[in-house]
Amino acid sequence: MGSIASSHGKEKNTGEPGFAQRQSALAIIQGFVTTMLWSPLSLALVVVLSQVQGVTSSMITPLGLLGVLFLFALSFAVSQLEVWLWRNKIDPSDFVIEDQLGGSSFLKILIRVILLVVAIFSAITFLSMVASVPVAVAVTLAIPLITLVWLILQCHGDVGACFRGPVANTIFRTLPSQSSEVGILLVAGFMGPVLVALMPSAEINAFLHSHHTSPGAIVLAGFFVIVAGGVLAVNPLISVTIVLGVLADPVALGIHPVYLALSILVSWVIATALSPFTGVTIVTASMFGVKSTTLTLVWNRLFGVIALIICAGLILIFGKVTALPIP
């Protein structure tokens, strides 16, 4: 959210309008999708852990954090490549980016954001572990309360001004404007289990088992189904539910459950980064005044294609390394 707030102020500082805006939007998308690999607040992690039996968050989170480091490094490398291409495309004298925020101002903003994140996770951890409240309930209780306290602090302790200003704006403008994104999640959550029930899962598993299909090939096929579905307007929540519904017993096919869960999370990450129809891309595109198709399929195309190729190769390699004996 700090990136969103600061990007508009820096937008006009580029040699050609739109470049800093583009990079800021990509930073938001690429940073957001990495939370799916490890954050207990992530819908992706909750869905995958609930559907892949025998896998817990303690198994996935360390591996997910390694995935985050990899994606951060890839994002940085692609960003540097795009900047280099841009510098060589236009007159270098036109490529001037001035920092409107001083170092101390930026540091203050960064510290505030970090403190906010720490407060959120501390409250959720306290409620879930000390008060024995489920994580979903802890999130529902903690987020609104911390948000209200944060807004009051932003208004310098003036509760009346807070409720007349940011709280009223959030209730009457921000939340209604995101109704379409909420609707997408609700429809996707409903359609997934319905489509799984209609799938011939037993026949598909019997076919894969009889043809001795390798675990890597099976998971890679699911990987491409999820990514392609995202690009073609199928919300990842639907495609992930279908894939995991078909592969309800991965051990019978020689697939390690942790390997399956992590691969599905990675596919969800890439599908979200490339899909013009997920909530985060729709919201981000509207904030920056561009079409979601432009944001994902044009601006984010290079990152998505490189990540797709590398992750597909890793899925095949680890499919062989982690393969289980087929009963």
More confident residue, 92 or 37: 37
pLDDT value at position 112? 74
Q: Residue 64's closest CA among 44, 38, 42? A: 38
Q: What percent of the chain has pLDDT over 70?
A: 83
Q: What mean pLDDT do residues 41-46 have? A: 83
Q: What mean pLDDT do residues 241-252 have? A: 91
Q: Residue 193's closest CA among 47, 55, 57? A: 47
Residue 38 CA to residue 34 CA, distance in Å, equals 8
Q: What mean pLDDT do residues 174-186 have? A: 64
Residue 61 CA to residue 268 CA, distance in Å, equals 16
pLDDT value at position 106? 59
pLDDT value at position 173? 75
- Give the confidence band of 317 by pLDDT, cuts at 50, 70, 90: very high
pLDDT beyond 80 at 28:
yes
How much is the pTM? 0.76
Average pLDDT, the chain: 81
Q: What percent of the chain has pLDDT over 90?
A: 33
pLDDT value at position 6? 42
Place of tokens 């470049």: 19
- Give the confidence band of 139 by pLDDT, cuts at 50, 70, 90: confident
**How many CB atoms lie under 10 A from the CB of residue 244?**
21
More confident residue, 225 or 111: 225
pLDDT beyond 50 at 79:
yes
Structure tokens belonging to residue 104: 């101390």
Pick from 107-111, 175-179, 271-275, 316-320: least confident? 175-179
Structure tokens belonging to residue 256: 């390690």
